[in-house]
Every structure is written in C-alpha cells, then in structure tokens.
Amino acid sequence: MEYRHTQTAFQSVVLTVGLMLALVTVFVPDLEEEGLLVPIAVFLVATAAITLLFSRLTVTVGNGEVVTAFGIGWPKHVERLDEIVAVREVRNKWIYGWGIRRLPDGWMYNVWGLQAVELDLASGKSFRIGTDDPEGLLAVLTLSIGSR
C-alpha cells in the first residue's frame, strides 16, 4: 500500500516573515551608519532558508519503508517496515517543539502541531512522526506492518 502526505506549516512561515519584517523595520534606519547591513542580510537569508527547509514534512510509505523528509528531501529519516513492531497515535507534549528532536526513547520529526504517530522499533527505540493526518498514516502503517 502506498501513502504520501505533505504537511506544510504555514504558521511558522507567517511567524518568521513577521519577525523578519519587524527586525528590518527596527534596524533599517541605522543599517548603513551602524555597519549592520551585512550581518542583518546574512541573518535574514539564513532564517529564510531554515524556515523553508523546516516548514514542510513529507511522509511516504512504500517499497518496504517509511521515509520522513523535511523541505527539499533533506534532512530525512528512513525506517524499514520490517523493523516496526507497533504503531499508535500519540499527542506530543508542547515542550517537544518542532523540527528534529531527541526524545527520551528515540527521535521525532515534526513541523507543527501536537498530533503524531509513534513507531515502536525492534531495537527498543521509537520514532515519532508529527502529522496533521494521524488517522491516515496510522491506517496505512497498521496495514503495512500487519501484512508481512
């Protein structure tokens, strides 16, 4: 069974653009005379790149694996379906945040929100995938690991 879903965190893009505009508004009058033009430009470009990279998360289930990839396909995490022993829908703690996070028993990839699907792995570790489609992902994974 094939599955592909992309979650875009429009909220993070809007927040980042708002913060960037506020920063430019505050510093524009003094950019040239304070020598801040280059540092501010570098900061804005880096912030825009990081936001674009981490504002989308695509989850693909197929070819015997689960691939979770940010932005342009990197960074990504791959789990083989035969290494998954159980799956369940979970709710992330708000403190876990977004992005790539180390959790007490494994790792998490998440772009926005608290909904997630947790994969229990044969190694004893877990991998948590933040998603705005937990029911769809859970259904596909349950069928995929149950049919082996």
List, for residues 65-121, the tens digit of each pLDDT value. 999 999 989 999 999 999 999 999 999 999 999 999 999 999 999 999 999 999 999
Q: Does this model's pTM top 0.85?
A: yes
69 and 130 both lie in a single domain: yes
User: For position 4, what pLDDT does the model report?
Assistant: 98
At 55, the amino acid letter reads S
- How would residue 132 be classed by pLDDT, with cut points 50, 70 and 90? very high
Same domain, 106 and 36: no
Give every CB contact of residue 10 below 8 A, 6+ residues apart in sequence. Answer: 55
Mark whether 48 and 74 lie in a shared domain.
Answer: no
72 neighbors 84 (Cβ within 8 angstroms):
no
Select from 108, 129, 99 the least CA-distant residue to 3: 129
Q: Are residues 43 and 110 in the same domain?
A: no
| β-sheet bridge partners, residue 118 | 88, 128
With 0-12 CB in 10 A as exposed, 13-18 as middle and 19+ as buried, what is 59? buried
